[in-house]
Amino acid sequence: MIATARKMNASGLNQGTSGNLSQRVEDGFLVTPTGMDYDALVPEDLVLMRFDGTHEGRRKPSSEWRFHRDLLAARPEVGAVLHAHSMFCTTLACLRRPIPSFHYMVAVAGGADIRCAPYATFGTEELSRHAVAALEGRKACLLANHGMLALGGDLAGTFKLAVEVETLAAMYWRALQVGEPVLLDAAEMAVVLEKFKTYGQQPEPR
């Protein structure tokens, strides 16, 4: 977790202590502590949280622990949650613009678009509800006037998805400087989503 958190900043996906990260474990989930420099973290700084909202350890959990808890509770297939204030996702989020089907790779986040959740104050139950709704049937979303969220089965996959979504946001932002991009229609995105089910290296059949 610490290596992934540091990679978030080193890659430019996040800045300072603004992002946070969680990973499911047997007794609940681990989450990064609030307001700490990732480069200074040691394993004992990670906070063990349970789904009833209690925690243990020497640090306070991330101020955004609620949406980590609620997403992990609602999505049993998810093993890790990443939140970042990445530059281009946050720019679009401040405009309250979702990322539409301007490029077929938008489907990597699980649907024909990447939604933008409504605004709510950070760390609140309201924000958590908005995030869970925006991520229904999806693996990534924007948070209005805030940042982005990505979900995955493990930390490596979640980080990879977050980078892909930020890259798409950057492409979309640049396209908007010239005009309105031509969008792929629902039928084509359905084809892409189906093809993505067998995209990449698949396990050999037994």
Closest by CA to 143, choosing from 39, 18, 25, 24, is 18
Contact predicate 98/142, CB 8 Å: yes
Residue 159: half-sphere exposure toward Cβ, Cα within 13 Å: 21
Q: What is the dihedral of CA 195, 80, 155, 165, to 10 degrees?
A: 50
**End-to-end distance of the chain based on CA atoms, in angstroms?**
33
Catalytic, 64? Answer yes
Distance separating alpha carbons of residues 17 and 14, to the nearest angstrom: 8
Distance separating alpha carbons of residues 43 and 163, to the nearest angstrom: 24
Active-site hit among 26, 56, 64, 194: 64
State both tokens at 49: 């949280």
Q: b or e along 35-54 (b: 16 or more beta carbons within 10 Å of the residue's beta carbon)?
A: eeebeebeeebbbebeeeee
Sign for the pseudo-dihedral over CA of 81, 87, 89, 93: positive
Catalytic machinery residues: 64
